[in-house]
Amino acid sequence: MNSLKKIFKRNTHTYCFKQLAGFGRALNRLYENRNHDIDSNGELVVQKKLSAFKPKVIVDGGANIGKYSKMLHKEHPDCIIYAFEPVKETYNTLLQNVGHLKNVVAINKGLFSCHCEKEIYLFNSNTHSSLFDIKGVASKYNNVQTIDLIRGDSYAKDNKLEVIDFLKLDLEGAEYDALLGFENLLREKKIKAIQFEYGYINITTRKLLIDFYELLNKYGYKVGKIFPKTVEFRPYNHKYEDFIGPNFIAVNDDEIELIRILENK
């Protein structure tokens, strides 16, 4: 076995091994569910499982043009869905797509750690935007817009949201900052489950998966990764810092039955 390892190590940059390495990386991305399609990557499955608990309040942070909010409304027609989208043009499209839906409330603000105004970078079109100038990608931003940002705790208090059943954060790198804006509700364990994105953008933001784990574990949340049919709850390990993403979920550890159902295939 040791002799075989030596042969492999001496020939790692031959054409054959480069092709094998590329195939291995592609296979790993498939295995780790690098998939942003909500119908097939497990996000829809999570909501179908959540429907058994009859959620009353869901916050869609980073609603974009409303695809996720529409899915939420379909799965939870009696639930109030607060859809946050800070980019004006994208918000206008969101209104067109969800404005007619009962119990979907569109808010032209972004979720953040504090109340403030910031510039947001618009990439390709106003449907892809980030507070961060994302490094190492083929496309550069082509416009900048000033947006309003708000703390989740403040919005919840002002609108008498005592409990949030599900919080979804797809904020193109600002997920950690948004979580800091919900720290009061996290401390009181008034948010039952949180879905957040983690991927290559975190290289630019310098917020690693370990930062999410440490923050959420501190407040009594179990963290897992969403796969097509299940959630794999697992303790932190450095090998998961692969920037593949896309979606992780944190569940209040008092929600034992919800954790069990999410784990089931």
Mean pLDDT (whole number) for 99-116:
97
At 192-248, the pLDDT tens digits run: 999 999 999 999 999 999 999 999 999 999 999 999 999 999 999 999 999 998 999
| Residue 195 belongs to a domain | yes
| Alpha-carbon distance values, 217 to 55, 143, 179, 228, 235 (Å) | 23, 37, 13, 24, 10
At 32-47, the pLDDT tens digits run: 878 888 999 999 999 9
- Number of domains forming the structure of the chain: 1
Check: pTM over 0.75? Answer yes or no.
yes
| Alpha-carbon distance values, 169 to 25, 220, 227 (Å) | 27, 19, 17
Full residue range of the structural domain in which residue 195 is found: 37-263
